[in-house]
Structure 1
């Protein structure tokens, strides 16, 4: 621990009655659970009436930006859902059997947490809407190549998947205590509007090893993009902003290009929050590249004139389970205008679904080819001088593709139908639970 390394006296964060060994699993001299440990209504009364309020209080009297302050913020947004103290006692005993001491144990716990977030997304439950496939995030990071000492920002961070994966990418590069301190405290920044997503994101970063995450709960779009100063800007932006949300009319006034599409407002925000020379990778609906409305066209022109949009990754259908839209990833660097765009059409060779999600191998070729902008059957260049200035259409049109798409195999079609049926059944079941 830090105290053992510095010689400082260790001061426990929690008062005695609220430590795990005091209330959750008090032991006798043999190391077994004492018979007088709280259970039933007494346990529920303690957790709901004493423990949670104690943790919430951290927000008011613990130094801001510390681990304790984050505990206060987390517990301010949650309540005890257990009604049976006997069920809670069983859960506490199961948790006590887990170990979180070594890096390997912590890594396993963070993997378990990520899996649960993913499952929430597959079942259409709260929290899962904030889940971006981790193989896609890792590929985006490998292309952007963040460096130690740079700041990384996600203004729609959800479950903080981009920030967690960026931390995992940078952590092996750390060579000193000072570098680790900077990575922990002055590298990763996020903002999130929704309370549940904010809590999930903070917990996710803590489990990955970031003790006091720099995530703020706020509506990013309330910030006027004309008011940003250099201190507000970042070296790297990684994000998957929400599609199709609705914002109040006064919020749209914060942006030079007025639009009702939330993702397009976020894209304007990201362009302004990026430092000159900074790099970004942003997931967005593929229709952004071709929409004929004035706002979409103006935003494409703004992006390509203020930034070098050097790469567009065209993602296959069902990359995002349950989303129902096709997406692209925009890779750009701020400061020089775009001359040509390298497109890559991702084809995993199978229909994606719950049982066949995107994996790291699917994206290996993209990352490899992108490093040299290699042309192939699925990758090509579009010169901006060849784009129709009236429509400014940048849509994905593979010049190497055959005129007609090959017919799909019956087995593939049946598998996709089965996947869709299963997803529909799970969504209906979830709706039934909410109505029960």
Structure 2
């Protein structure tokens, strides 16, 4: 049985009940969660255990209006529980209009013998559902990062079990889950860790923040289905200075558009309404000295003047921006067409040189028929420590960067085969145009503010 397709078929039952994609993904998630945690005996504290009358088998024994009512009661009662259960089920309501479709969905979920599948297969099945959701629901793609990009970022950062790891824009928890699985793998699937170390890893060391409650719920469920019981706090990461520091930051924050107002943050070194610049500043602020960060940013962050330039300059003077991975055109297709990069920096020392890895030049555009895969990152990771052995890595000194007005646009430094600068793809041209428009707007607003201040 193709478990991924089976899960999507169950979604079809809910679509027939008239639900839109956000609702049926949530409802299927609830049903899968109830079934899986019972089979896997999820490690909730005693106060968080699901009461006997609201366990999965009670749903399978009812039908008709009685089933519909019991399902509603189950969601309501579990939403009142303390701890993680209450966080997951809080404010969730049944979206089923007819008991027959709920009965069909319960029967389909119950027919799957989840015990015969390994944890990673179950987790992959759920993540495939989240991926479908990101592809089809308008705006949902901003909360989902392609797994190959996550894997490459985490493997490059190489977090350890005793480090505090955080994602300030957690979405559906992809970075946190991959960091957890990476740490288990490097420790003999966790067998080399003591019970206390394993508990601290799974319950304390991996945390996140997510603003959107529905997305946070999906992220919490995703973590539990991967045996990860840390918290994703619901909050606006940019609202206040961090109350704690972390060893590792992994993030794909929202970008494009602007916040309603500039965050009032004394720890920010540049005032801006652009979320991508503010998340960069926030990530820097959250890191311990010698802390490491891998963060996704749009192209504009690397070349725009004004606020973006001031952020780059400050970071390069106070952190080592040692690597920038230039992602292929369409890397986040179909979620966004904005051209993107992954910036790696270590806090606590100045930048002396920046290594670029060009995964864009002469690389076929990413699309449905040519998806982003692990293979795209093989050479990047293989030569992470021995960069001179790869033709795709090239370094630029801080002196060169200063001469180019603190620009981190890789095209200003790379020698192309044709002897000049590569002709930009339409997506890159669009990004540059948007960046120019934002710079004009920023400069115009600054002039208006100065005129108003003089009056």
Give the alignment's TM-score, normalised by structure 2.
Answer: 0.77
The residue correspondences of 1:256-271 to structure 2 (distance < 5 A) are: 256-271=269-284
- Which residue does the alignment assign to 1:19? 55
Show the counterpart of 1:148. 161
**Tell me, what secondary structure is at the counterpart of 1:374?**
helix
Corresponding position of 1:45: 69
Q: 1:186 aligns with which of 201, 204, 221?
A: 204
**Aligned mates of 2:389, 2:410 — CA distance in 1:** 15
For residue 281 of structure 1, the aligned residue among 251, 269, 294 is 294
| Counterparts of residues 370-385 of structure 1 (less than 5 Å) | 370-374=384-388, 376-385=390-399
How far off its partner does 1:238 sit?
0.5
Question: Does 1:365 find its partner at 2:400?
Answer: no
Structure 1 stretch 239-248 or stretch 151-160: which is displaced more?
239-248
The equivalent residue for 2:453 is none
Alignment partner, residue 327 of structure 2: 315
5+ long unaligned stretches in structure 1: 2-9, 27-36, 63-68, 414-436
- State the Cα distance separating 1:223 from its structure 2 match: 1.2
CA shift, 1:370, in A, is 2.0
Partner of 1:119: 132
For the structure 1 residues 351 and 246, does the alpha-carbon distance in structure 2 shift closer, same or farther, using more than 3 Å as the test? closer
Q: Deviations over 1:278-332 (max 9, x none)?
A: 1110000111111012x11110011111111000000011001131211111111
Structure 1: distance between partners of 2:71 and 2:165: 37
Tell me the SS of whatever aligns to 1:355: coil
**Cα–Cα, structure 1 residues 405 and 382, in superposed 2: closer, same or farther, change >3 Å?**
closer
Change (3 A) 1:390 1:314: closer
Say whether the 8 Å CA contact 2:293–2:344 is kept in structure 1.
Answer: yes
- Give the Å deviation of 1:11: 9.1
Query: How do 1:168-247 and structure 2 match up within 5 A?
Result: 168-172=181-185, 173=187, 174=190, 175=192, 176-210=194-228, 212-224=229-241, 228=242, 232-247=244-259
CA contact (8 A) 2:415 2:421 kept: no
DSSP 3-state at the match of 2:96: coil
Report what 1:402 is aligned to.
417
* Counterpart Cα distance in 1 of 2:162 and 2:52: 39
Aligned mates of 1:11, 1:70 — CA distance in 2: 10
SS at 2:280's partner residue? Answer: helix
Name the CA distance, whole Å, in 1 between partners of 2:91 and 2:121: 26
Task: Note the alpha carbon deviations across 1:56-85, whole angstroms, 9 max, x for none.
Answer: 110xxx3xxxxxx22211222422111111
The aligned counterpart of 1:425 is none
Structure 1 pair 251–345 and aligned structure 2 pair: CA distance change class (3 A): same
TM-score (norm 1): 0.80
CA RMSD of aligned residues (A): 2.5
Offset of 1:122 from its aligned partner? 2.1
Q: Does 1:345 align with 2:358?
A: yes
User: Are 2:211 and 2:236, in contact at CA under 8 Å, matched by a contact in 1?
Assistant: yes
1:50-61 map, 5 Å: 50-58=73-81
Shift of 1:178: 1.8
Gaps of 5+ in 2: 1-36, 38-45, 427-455
Provide, for residues 99-127 of structure 1, a one-character-per-residue CA deviation record: whole Å limited to 9, x for no partner.
3446x433222101111111222224464
Cα distance in structure 2, aligned partners of 1:235 and 1:344: 24
8 Å CA contact 2:164–2:206 kept in 1: the answer is yes
In structure 2, the residue corresponding to 1:220 is in which secondary structure?
Answer: coil
Identify the match of residue 92 of structure 2 among 57, 62, 78. Answer: 78
> Structure 1 residue 136 and structure 2 residue 149: aligned?
yes
For 1:301, the equivalent position in structure 2 comes to 313
In 2: Cα distance, 1:163 partner to 1:14 partner: 25
